[in-house]
Amino acid sequence: MGAELKAFWDALAHLTGREVADIALVAFLIYGILKLIKDTRAIQMVYGLLVLGALYLLATWARLSTLEFVLRNAMLYIGIAVIVIFQNEIRSALVQFGRYLPRPFGGRGLRPSEYEQLFEEVILAVTTLAAERIGALIVFERNVGLQNFIETGVRLDARVSYDLLVSIFNPRVPLHDGAVIIRGDRIVAASCFLPLTLNPQLSKELGTRHRAAIGITEDTDAVAIVVSEETGIISFVAEGHISRHLDATRLRHFLRTWLSEPRRASRELSRVGSM
């Protein structure tokens, strides 16, 4: 044991700068992957792979040829199975990596005054809809493009305004079903279809709008506002997390944090299903 430790320390002492950087990058990659799959069903697959790996090492060490043969051949197909079973998680992980690439919000940055004007129009509309118990779902495009979802709705390309938002979500207007998607300070489409989350831990209180808002923020880096038709409760959703029972002040804080000041985007949102 002493000789092995000495060999280990000798190897560390002779590491080059390139080798240290190589090890650090691999460690960072592993950490990033584990962070992305934390609290998802994929983490259970990781545990299973670790068990299979341990069994394979045991079979090799103990010369259990039959078990070693079975596990070695099984490993050839596990990679394909992981891609098929966890395609949603893999897509979300790639989106999370891609969100760090430089791309202005909505294709162009807004000036601080433009952001504030946008927020005031949205907040006034949302609080009005909440007071009248009118359901609404508003999605804000960030770095990841939402063109595929925009094409499912009705193109508008109109500047965001209180009057337009309230009119769109009027139950007597055909556009009220589905989501409004905002790019920059313009409503690019209404009545858009969004993917529903498959999270089994969601509260039974959350309806289709909430599930769609969570789904789109799981698959992309978009953020969303939801107004419950049944209760009038205002919610903000980002990265698959939801914060409910918001007033105008709290909603303005979330909008500023996630849109005009994205580097300050915090983890203060409650975990989905915890409320």
User: What does the pLDDT look like over 228-258, one tens digit per residue?
Assistant: 999 999 999 998 899 999 999 999 999 999 9
What is the share, in percent, of the chain residues with pLDDT greater than 90? 41
Which uninterrupted H or E stretch holds 187?
Answer: strand 186-192
Cα 203 to Cα 73, 125, 167, 274: the distances in Å are: 42, 26, 30, 8
Q: Which residue has the higher pLDDT, 211 or 20?
A: 211
Q: What's the CA gap between 167 and 170, in Å, rounded?
A: 5
Alpha helix ranges (H) inside the chain: 2-13, 17-37, 42-62, 65-85, 87-98, 112-131, 147-150, 162-168, 208-219, 248-255
Q: What's the CA gap between 127 and 28, in Å, rounded?
A: 43
Per the DSSP assignment, residues forming a β-bridge with 182 are 140, 187
User: Is the predicted pLDDT of residue 3 greater than 60, yes or no?
Assistant: yes
The CATH H-level (homologous superfamily) assignment of domain 105-264 is DNA integrity scanning protein, DisA, N-terminal domain (3.40.1700.10)
pLDDT digits (tens, 9 = 90+) for 87-117: 666 666 666 666 555 554 444 568 888 999 9
pLDDT digits (tens, 9 = 90+) for 124-178: 999 999 999 999 999 999 988 899 999 999 999 999 999 999 999 999 998 998 9
Q: What's the CA gap between 59 and 52, in Å, rounded?
A: 10
Identify whether the C-beta of residue 135 lies closer than 8 Å to the C-beta of residue 179: no
* pLDDT score for 272: 42
Domains of the chain by residue range: 2-98, 105-264
